[in-house]
């Protein structure tokens, strides 16, 4: 991260939020994965209104995403992220540089988010695992039976997402969405010496070129790690 990015982010917070309790700069510019289109992800902690809200803007040549929070809203979003096993809020604060810390809450909340990230998500229940195995199995059958090339590609993308999420959460690893889903699978590979991230990506590319075998093989390998395919005998009860 360049000193200029840090200084621009800090001054923006000072100018717009003079009563801020704390502020953090997170995202790609901090963790070292920034690209030419990366923005400044700034989380701001206020004592109350106008928080919480989110705003997108451009400041001194940088696209900026502002996440203006209260302690209650941070707790709300962290709980929702924990339930989804996708720790977006904890990442933004836990993997950050502190811009301002007026009352110690900046360091306190960052350390708390670091502990949350290190602990990992809650374990899947048997019901959740069965539902995910069934969903991936169903998509795999759809891929095998699809005749339209565009349908196959759409199924392959959805199958990549569902398989990656199954792989990660069944192993007690955080998941994500979009680029973060790929990054989490790559991190999983680094920890375990596996190659699922590249194999799943190669499988999608192969489907785009008209070949499904490699995608079928890698998805089947993931299913085999968590109990195998599941269709016959699967039952999900409705509400009430």
Condensed to tens digits (0 to 9), the pLDDT of residues 15-29 reads 999 999 999 999 888
Q: In what order do the strands lie in the sheet with 22-26?
A: 53-59, 62-69, 40-45, 22-26, 97-101
Model pLDDT, residue 226: 97
Cα of 157 vs its chain's centroid, Å: 16
Enumerate the domain spans of the chain: 3-119, 126-225
Read off the pLDDT band of 1 (50, 70, 90). Answer: low
Token pair 């200084």 in the structure block, residue: 7
Read off the pLDDT band of 32 (50, 70, 90). Answer: confident
Classify residue 66 by its DSSP letter: E
Token pair 């004592």 in the structure block, residue: 47
Per-residue CA distances from 232 to 134, 137, 138, 185, 237 (Å):
9, 11, 11, 29, 15
Per-residue CA distances from 194 to 7, 140, 185 (Å):
39, 22, 10
Question: Residues of the chain with pLDDT > 70: what percent?
Answer: 99
The domain covering 3-119 belongs, at the CATH homologous superfamily level, to: Beta Polymerase, domain 2 (3.30.460.10)
Of 60, 25, 19, nearest to 43 (Cα)?
25
Condensed to tens digits (0 to 9), the pLDDT of residues 162-192 reads 999 999 999 999 999 999 999 999 999 999 9
Span 31-38, average pLDDT? 77
Read off the pLDDT band of 39 (50, 70, 90). Answer: confident
Condensed to tens digits (0 to 9), the pLDDT of residues 101-115 reads 999 999 999 999 999
Span 51-75, average pLDDT? 96
What is the phi-psi region of residue 193: left when phi exceeds 0, alpha when psi lies from -120 to 50, beta otherwise?
Answer: left
42, 30 contact by CB (below 8 A):
no
Which ranges of the chain would DSSP assign to H, the alpha helix? 3-16, 28-31, 71-84, 88-94, 105-119, 126-145, 149-170, 179-192, 196-208, 213-225
At 240, list the tokens: 């009430």
Model pLDDT, residue 97: 96
What mean pLDDT, rounded, does the chain reach?
A: 95
Model pLDDT, residue 112: 98
Please give the model's pTM, rounded to 2 decimal places. 0.89
Condensed to tens digits (0 to 9), the pLDDT of residues 125-149 reads 999 999 999 999 999 999 999 999 9
Residue 99 has pLDDT above 90, yes or no: yes
Model pLDDT, residue 96: 96
Residue 38 has pLDDT above 90, yes or no: no
- Output the furthest CA–CA distance in the chain (Å, rounded): 61
Model pLDDT, residue 27: 87
Read off the pLDDT band of 2 (50, 70, 90). Answer: low
Phi then psi dihedrals of residue 62, to 5 deg: -105, 135
Q: Say how far apart CA 201 and CA 182 lie, in whole Å.
A: 9
């Amino acid at each position: 991260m360049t000193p200029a990015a840090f200084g621009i982010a800090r001054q923006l917070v000072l100018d717009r939020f003079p009563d801020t309790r704390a502020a953090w700069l997170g995202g790609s510019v901090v963790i070292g994965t920034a690209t030419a289109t990366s923005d400044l992800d700034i989380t701001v902690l206020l004592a109350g209104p106008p928080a919480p809200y989110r705003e997108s803007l451009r400041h001194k040549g940088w696209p900026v995403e502002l996440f203006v929070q209260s302690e209650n809203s941070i707790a709300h979003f962290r709980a929702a992220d924990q339930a989804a096993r996708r720790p977006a809020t904890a990442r933004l604060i836990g993997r950050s540089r502190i811009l301002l810390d007026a009352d110690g809450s900046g360091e306190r909340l960052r350390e708390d988010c670091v502990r949350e990230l290190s602990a990992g998500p809650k374990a899947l229940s048997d019901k959740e695992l069965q539902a995910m195995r069934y969903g991936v199995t169903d998509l795999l059958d759809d891929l095998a039976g699809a005749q339209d090339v565009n349908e196959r590609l759409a199924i392959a993308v959805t199958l990549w997402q569902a398989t990656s999420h199954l792989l990660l959460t069944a192993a007690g690893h955080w998941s994500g969405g979009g680029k973060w889903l790929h990054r989490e699978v790559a991190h999983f590979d680094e920890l375990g010496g596996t190659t699922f991230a590249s194999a799943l990506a190669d499988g999608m590319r192969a489907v785009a070129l008209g070949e499904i075998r490699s995608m079928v093989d890698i998805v089947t390998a993931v299913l085999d790690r968590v109990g195998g395919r599941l269709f016959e005998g699967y039952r999900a009860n409705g509400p009430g």
